[in-house]
Structure 1
Amino acid sequence: MMRHLLLPRCAPRAAFNVQRSSSFGASVLRAARQYSIQPTAASDSKTLDIDPRKLVIERTGKPKALKDSKDLVFGANFTDHMLTIEWDKSTGWHEPRITPYQNLSLDPATCVFHYAFECFEGMKAYKDKAGKIRLFRPDKNMERFNKSAARIALPTFGPTNLIDLIAKFAKLESRFIPEERGYSLYLRPTMIGTQKTLGVGPPGSALLYVIASPVGPYYPTGFKAVSLEATDYAVRAWPGGVGDKKLGANYAPCIVPQREAMSRGFQQNLWLFGEEEYVTEVGTMNFFVVIRNKETGQKELITAPLDGTILEGVTRDSVLSLAKEKLAPEGWKVVERKYTMPELAQAAEEGRLIEAFGSGTAAIVSPVRSISWKGKVVNCGLKDHEESGETTMKMKQWMESRQYGDEEHEWSYVCE
């Protein structure tokens, strides 16, 4: 039994009024953002890095029966094995191990339970037509994983070393990936502080583990456009906070506002920020809108900037890259800027809001039908019989082509 093994975004919600009239206040916000982006890692001392060459594999003696692909529920079924790597401040990273999937055993005083020393990633492995297993842009996941860990004083690691291990793990569990298009293996790298203490300080020990869950298409019967409630009474993230990091502590506070929105007939929250009502994210996804510019008539793909309050989504970055590659040559403008809910509402009233969608690992893209804001409905360009806009559909197709290896591209990492 391992020494540290466990049973099984949205920052804390609080009203936050930003005073922009004061130059002092502005300088404080700038300083806060800079600190948030450049934290100090727990593993800055020269200790051992993760070493894939030391991997120990213990195969299960009781392989699980495969579920019918149509019965897969996101995050409910898990594979035979798990990857674990322990860390301590004196020696660094221990030997990596792939073992049968099992519970973790942690002392009740373990710091993850008391002070939320926990961060994670969400990524997928895909099976191409030749049966090869592929990861999608794992370098971006590892970059963000390190940033998240460093921000909460957990150890960092060599990105390529962990990618190597995750690739081996995904290949070992490849039988769980159904052959049908749209299916994949969802991978959840997680890091927790494991020091037994009620004192508040950098953890002296940690556990990095990876588990996997076979998943089907987010919309098994095709795209379903969602309706949003613009949320200004609760704040997802704020300047200088940790909304740009993938921490477990960001997610639980999202649930109550989401339940409130659902009680009024909406699927998700559209998180607004400040008196200006800046549009930030939708649920736990980044948010995009397609608007026709009022002065030039040019189509613009717009999303909020990475200002420290927006999660640095891998899918977000992929959408922006694809747009610059494929839409910009057609005359589109691809923009990362602050924009407000009143601006969206005006564009909708004038017929210039063409479509809107969320982006994230689970769904790739999620089309939006409407936004409820201040007692009125802001329509996002879809006709009654439509479930997705043209741009949203194209993004999904372009992305899947690279995820499944139909188009050979540097974003697709073949597991060896």
Structure 2
Amino acid sequence: MTLEDRPWALFALSCLLAGCPASSGPAPDGGSAPAKRGAAAGDGEVSKAPTEAPPTADPAEGAAETGAAVETEGSGEETGGSEGGETDTGETGETGTGETGETDTGETGGEDAAAETSAATLIVGGSKGLVEYDLDGKQLRTLTPMAAAWPRILPDGEILFLHPKAPNYELMRVAKAGGAVTAVATLPRNFNAKTCKVEFSEDYLDVQSDWGFSVDVANKRACFNLADRNENMAELEIEVRVDLDTGKVHSRLEEMMDGDCPPDAAFECGGSSGGGGSMNASEQPTGEAFAWRWDPDAWLIFPKGTANARTNPKAVSVCSNSVDFSDPESMAALCASEEGRSPSGRFVLLSGMLSMGDYIHRELYFIDLSTGELLGMLGDDRKFEVVTPDNVMTEVFGSLDAVGESLIRWVGDAKHERLWVDGWLIDPAGRKTTRVGGFLASQL
């Protein structure tokens, strides 16, 4: 991943140069630490619902079939595949309308919501299994009750996912159409600094982001990057490669900041995580059909047919009032950054103010090009509210929070567009958010 792959990273670099508010880092449960509203929003504290961490329940008896033996290079150990899996009844998260916090009925609000329903569905892994949802967050069916993390949908319809079986992960395969579940291999999650060997002894290392699990479909192998912390702070990383036909496991030390163990020789571990980075749009729509325009280079929202200039009295700059437009560093630090556009082009996703710490937090906002409004998602239920550019860029305000490792992806189509952000399913046209939780499956 390069900085060019992550628009927020360039913004973060400028913010570091110009000065940014500090961040308290992730909360102990793996979610984001609470963010405070500024004085412009009134007193009080607004907390982001935690991003769901990988399920950690121990496995019990289940329906998974016995998998192939697993051999870890350099360890001399051999481990058999899984003989069972746990039926986990834990919840992945609450759902809400974004208005009252009550249980979601699956209905979409807003005058621009499409009348017809969409056939598109989402596969989500979490503590209650691998579950299929519709685009309003309504649960449709459970493919397997085994706790599941980081699911990947293969071109033939099979699904791979990680199942926690203390102290290790098991790589599982679900036959297409929700068929039989089988164990492929057991993944080590520890490194012994004395022997310089990857071990199965402790669940110390983890997949830290969506790009930490890729699948090389052509060569029938899965590849993992396991680390002790997120990318900014990691001191220990190992790579694991699994042959999907045999279940054989190859592992190597990628990086160790402290200690005398040198990195092992690299092995081929290509493939795709299916996400295409943080945004999955291959072609950004222009939004020409809407009444307002957006110029990301000038940071301006302006009515169609009017001047694209700050002197236009109807134009709105998505920058703090204190920005110095003669200073590139000031503009980069105090103007919102575009992250991508919705399939229809109507909504532009923006990064607002950053807060720095072990994790680089950024707040997310929408521009609605049909109205010219800036929209934040505030409060515990992430209710949509119209905000001002100064709210967005003066200080941490309390809109929906994301970090560099966040999975942010548009799903659906131009008539039924939703944004997935770390377990939140967002319908910007209906001005509605639903908490699903868990890990959105990536289509390879």
TM-score by length of 2: 0.23
* Structure (1/2) with the larger strand percentage: 2
TM-score by length of 1: 0.24
* Structure (1/2) with the larger helix percentage: 1
